Amino acid sequence: MLKKFFCMIVACCSLFVFSARAELKVDIVAGATEPISVAVQKFEVVGASASDAATMRSVVEADLKRTGLFHIVNHDAFPEFVKMDAMPAFKSWDAIKAKVLVQAKLTQTSDKKYKLEFFVWDVNGREQIEAQSLMASKKSVRRLGHIMADAIYERLTGEIGYFDTQIVFIAETGPIDNRVKRMAIMDQDGQGLRYLSDSKTFVMSPHFSPNMQSIVFLSYYDDDPMVWILNLDTGAQRRLGKFGGMNFAPRFSPDGNRVALSLVKNGITHIYEYNISDNSLRQLTTGNSINTSPSYSPDGTKIAFNSDRSGSQQIHLLDLETGEVSRLTYGAGRYATPAWSPDGQFIAFTKMADDTFYVGIMDARGKNEKILAGGWFMEAPSWAPGSRRLVYYETEKTSDNMERISHIRSVDITGQNLYDIDLPDGVNGLEPTWSPRLP
């Protein structure tokens, strides 16, 4: 269950400009950008646990480092320790090529909560560019670190941070001929993994609601493939409805009031839209083709989906206001699993060509296709908040062809800085979906 134990107060101090130098900014779209050197000082501790402070510091550094946009300065190179009420000796930090200096203080309050204060300095510009104060439960140590990293990332890039987020996925265990699939959730860095379903029911295709209160997924409960909704606060589950056929590939609409899904009737697969408030179901696609994998545009007016109506599996676009359908992809190979970016600029996809699977992106018109990764099998791209990073899964064969190992991987839209999200030993990760920012 998603516990709402986190209470946060954010106070942004006024920012004072001490020079007319160019503003420090990271270009996160350009490839091969030289990482900016960031020095994160040891946290000052007042009544709090030094171990908790060290954990927060390591979380901040790891989050920033994983982006590929920042170089974390070695602690042994620090020229001084700057108290929170003192000015840094900027020339000393210049000497070790630090571009950004981060100070922080962790205080335990009288009501046994944690207060985290931090400053961010532009060393070259000789100015303080960010100052915040956060208040939270002592159980929220790692989350405080993620929120602090988000603030630093947003100030330096101008983009939405994605560290205070989670990933829901299918955790697969056991031998290849007897795999157990369970729905699981974890923080975006792989920490805090917990299971949301038992080992008795086959589950697939989990996706978050926009408000992070629930997850929609496919369950083979009693061998009947149906779409269900899980309430993350209570753990309660309910089936969407009895639709008279196999239904799968569910996705929430941006307002959370509808669910698009694929439904098989009379041997034909079409996309339908289920209205949660009045339990109504309407058919969105027609004809004799296979239509599946719906993904809403961020404004909720369109749905991208894959269909074989053109003779091969391609991505098409449905206008929900007019009902018109247009084809988006024309490249060589077959296209599937479209996923619209949160900012509406891109559509991610899976492509199959020349016996290879690829994950790529294109603009919302189906132009400017860019392949980000390729391999034996990969699927299910999903966007992080901010629309600059994706998560997907890749399955690899062992050399003796006796095993299949599936990794959850993340890549940015330049196709660079690819990394695996660590999972426990013996756990394969499939069908990951990145959450919105946590409430």
Answer yes or no: are the C-beta atoms of 243 and 224 closer than 8 Å.
no
Report mean pLDDT in 10-residue bins for the chain, 439 residues.
43 34 56 84 97 98 96 98 96 97 97 97 96 96 98 96 98 90 97 93 94 93 85 93 81 96 91 94 94 97 96 96 96 94 97 96 96 95 97 88 88 95 95 95
Q: Is 301 left (phi over 0), alpha (psi -120 to 50) or beta?
A: alpha
Q: Where are the domains of the chain?
A: 36-157, 166-434
Q: What pLDDT is stored for residue 15 in this prediction?
A: 33
Q: What pLDDT is stored for residue 13 in this prediction?
A: 36
Instruction: Give the global pTM.
Output: 0.92
Our CA dihedral for 51, 54, 56, 60, rounded to 10 degrees, sits at -160
Answer yes or no: are the C-beta atoms of 166 and 435 closer than 8 Å.
yes
Q: Residue 61 in 3-state DSSP? A: helix
Place domain 166-434 in its CATH homologous superfamily: TolB, C-terminal domain (2.120.10.30)
d(CA 274, CA 256): 11
For residue 392, the one-letter residue type is Y
Q: What pLDDT is stored for residue 398 in this prediction?
A: 78
Residue with tokens 């269909």: 307
d(CA 387, CA 318): 22
At the top level of CATH, the class of 36-157 is alpha beta
Answer yes or no: are the C-beta atoms of 199 and 180 closer than 8 Å.
yes
d(CA 28, CA 359): 20
Q: What pLDDT is stored for residue 4 in this prediction?
A: 42
Structure tokens of 191?
């920490």
Helix, strand, coil fractions of the chain, as percent rounded to 5: 10, 45, 45
Q: Which residues contact 216 (CB under 8 A, 6 or more apart)?
A: 206, 207, 209, 227, 228, 229, 230, 240, 250, 251, 252, 259
Question: What is 190-228 written as a DSSP string?
Answer: S-S-EESS-SSS-EEEEEE-TTSSEEEEEE-GGG--EEE
Q: What pLDDT is stored for residue 252 in this prediction?
A: 97
Q: What pLDDT is stored for residue 195 in this prediction?
A: 96
Apex 429 CA angle, 254 and 389, nearest 5: 50
User: How long, in residues, is the chain?
Assistant: 439
d(CA 193, CA 423): 8
d(CA 63, CA 66): 5
Going by C-alpha positions, the residue among 44, 59, 14 that lies closest to residue 114 is 44
